[in-house]
Amino acid sequence: MRVLFVCSDADVGGAERLLATLARSWSEEDELGLVVLMSRGTLSDDLEAAFSRVTYLDFPPSSRNLPAMVRALEHAITDFAPDVISSHLFHADFVTALARTRVPRVSTMHTHGFGSGDHWLTKVIARAVGALSFRFAAVVPTSDSPAMTTFLRRLRMKHVVTPILNGTMVPTTPSFNTSSRTFVSIARNHPVKGHATLLKAYAAAAPTMPGWRLRVVGAELTIDDPRVQGMIEELDLQPLLDSGALSFDGPTSNPENVLAQSAALVISSLYGETFPLVGLEAAGHGVPVITTDVGNCSHFVDDRRFLVAPGDPDSMRNALSTYAALSDDARAQLSQQARARALRDYDAHAVAERYRTQFRTVVDADTLA
């Protein structure tokens, strides 16, 4: 089977990293291609190593030349001659839905909602994808949460099939270090990720947690970013920065290296998350997770004290301080539980096989038609 994946960009993000993970875990019987609407990005090396062929259409992020995008994708489809097309993220879904092709198409949903911080055009495109969803043979949610069901219903998404939750390459051995006193947040700088709530909570908890620190890792999360500067001033974070108890470390293409140095991963998202890859990776490394109760993120928590109400700095502060007060043995037990869960539930090869089965079903149905 020849599978052509389509995504919007090649920068580090959950959907893009999932594609690299799936390609590395896929059956060698198939040939996998990838079309990226934009140019090479920070994840290109990983994607090019995972797929047999990667094609960049080289449109700038600001491009509104939809007809040209559609034509370029049509040429890429003809060139690769796939049996099935799998699109990811709404911009790629929109272009894929408009392409003139007889090849069956499958869309994968990586979010279950929007907020005021999301661009208006993304919301318009999502509604357009819902209207065009009859052109997809299947729409695969990456969450089985009620929020995802409601979101797809509001978009009037058709041909929705059984959800396929994300997976990860679980390392051979865990890397959790019980002596670590570092919380880490790994997420891009976007309102959906709830950085302001996390930072407010951490600033309140820090005096009760001597020796602990918070690393904030992600795109556009450096000390010179205007939005970061705004949060530093508004929340009076400079003393924490000066003491080394807080750092803004920018993007990483190797989150596993960051996780290996961490006592816990903190997910502070306000909405929209389905089953974030970084939470799966943390579990694989045996790193416990403190998370807001969004999408399927509650699956990452083995102790309900570390499941937090979205947008609630007091709840997050209590979770951080409670975790910091645990003994090394108690954190080690949480690490073992997380690792066992990853081995049991998150294997990327099993997830890739579920996608492959779905694609084969679509291809077989198209052949019979």
User: For 284-293, what is the mean pLDDT?
Assistant: 97
User: Angle at CA 50, nearest 5°, toward 49 and 53?
Assistant: 80
What are the pLDDT digits (tens) for 228-261?
Answer: 999 999 999 999 999 999 999 998 878 888 999 9
What are the pLDDT digits (tens) for 55-74?
Answer: 999 999 988 899 999 999 99
Which three-class secondary structure state does DSSP give residue 352? helix
* Sequence-ordered list of residues with C-beta below 8 angstroms from that of 117, at least 6 positions apart, any chain: 190, 191, 192
What are the pLDDT digits (tens) for 159-183?
Answer: 999 999 999 999 999 989 999 999 9
User: 147 is written with which tokens?
Assistant: 């929020």
Alpha carbons 48 and 29: distance in angstroms, whole number: 18
- Residue 157, judged by CB atoms within 10 A of its CB (0-12, 13-18, 19+), counts as buried
pLDDT, the chain, mean = 95
User: Structural domain boundaries of the chain?
Assistant: 2-166+347-368, 182-345
Give pLDDT, residue 45.
94
Q: Which of 85, 113, 21 is nearest to 359 (CA)?
A: 85
Q: What share of the chain is helix, strand, coil (3-state, %, to 5)?
A: 45, 15, 35
What are the pLDDT digits (tens) for 303-341?
Answer: 999 999 999 999 999 999 999 999 999 999 999 999 999
Give pLDDT, residue 254.
83
Contact (Cβ atoms closer than 8 angstroms) between residue 91 and residue 62: no
Confidence band, pLDDT 50/70/90 cuts, at residue 38 = very high
Alpha carbons 134 and 136: distance in angstroms, whole number: 5
Distance of CA 293 to the CA centre of its chain: 16
pLDDT surpasses 80 at 126: yes
Give pLDDT, residue 369.
65
Which three-class secondary structure state does DSSP give residue 325? helix
Give pLDDT, residue 366.
79
Contact (Cβ atoms closer than 8 angstroms) between residue 281 and residue 259: yes
pLDDT surpasses 90 at 151: yes
H/E stretch holding 96 reads helix 90-98
Q: Does the CA dihedral 15-19-20-26 come out positive or negative? A: positive
Confidence band, pLDDT 50/70/90 cuts, at residue 116 = confident
Alpha carbons 208 and 98: distance in angstroms, whole number: 55
**Which amino acid is located at 74 in the chain?**
E
* Sequence-ordered list of residues with C-beta below 8 angstroms from that of 44, at least 6 positions apart, any chain: 10, 54
User: 199 is written with which tokens?
Assistant: 């930072």
Give pLDDT, residue 103.
97
Alpha carbons 12 and 341: distance in angstroms, whole number: 25
Q: Which of 14, 339, 308 is nearest to 186 (CA)?
A: 14
User: Angle at CA 170, nearest 5°, toward 169 and 174?
Assistant: 145
Domains 2-166+347-368 and 182-345 share a fold: yes
Query: Of all residues in the chain, what percent carry a pLDDT higher than 90?
Result: 91
Alpha carbons 24 and 32: distance in angstroms, whole number: 10
Alpha carbons 239 and 244: distance in angstroms, whole number: 9
In this structure, the number of other CB atoms found within 10 A of the CB of residue 60 comes to 10
The CATH number of 182-345, from 3.40.50.620, 3.40.640.10, 3.40.50.2000, 3.30.365.10, is 3.40.50.2000
Contact (Cβ atoms closer than 8 angstroms) between residue 264 and residue 287: yes
Distance of CA 18 to the CA centre of its chain: 7
User: For 352-362, what is the mean pLDDT?
Assistant: 97
Alpha carbons 202 and 214: distance in angstroms, whole number: 8
Superfamily of segment(s) 2-166+347-368: Glycogen Phosphorylase B; (3.40.50.2000)
